[in-house]
Amino acid sequence: MERVKVDEVEIDKCPKCGGVWLDPGELELLLKRAKGSKNGLMRFFYHLAGHYEE
């Protein structure tokens, strides 16, 4: 597992499979920081959390 910074939030990423793991509260932090963002990764996290705003 390696730690990767996404918008100042450190998340865990598997270097072999590319899987991403979030600790408690990290998704919420990413969503707060991404509010209104057009960034593709941030939109992915919104969809992951069930928020389908574009």
The per-residue pLDDT for 22 is 92
Whether residue 6 lies inside any domain: the answer is no
Q: Is residue 48 one of the residues assigned to a domain?
A: yes
pLDDT in tens, 7-19: 788 889 888 998 8
- Indicate the number of domains in the chain: 1
Q: Under a CB-based contact definition with an 8 Å cutoff, are residues 7 and 34 in contact? A: yes
- Tokens for 49, please give them: 């959390």
Residue 4 included in any domain: no
Note the pLDDT of residue 21.
92
Residue 49 falls within a domain, yes or no? yes
- To the question of pTM greater than 0.75 for the whole model, the response is no
Cβ(4)–Cβ(11) below 8 Å: yes
Does residue 28 register a pLDDT over 90?
Answer: no
Asked whether residue 28 is assigned to any structural domain, the reply reads yes
Per-residue pLDDT band at 24 (split at 50, 70, 90): very high
* CA distances to 9, 10, 23, 30 from 17, in Å: 21, 18, 18, 22
Q: What percent of the chain has pLDDT over 90?
A: 15
Name the residue range of residue 43's domain.
Answer: 24-54
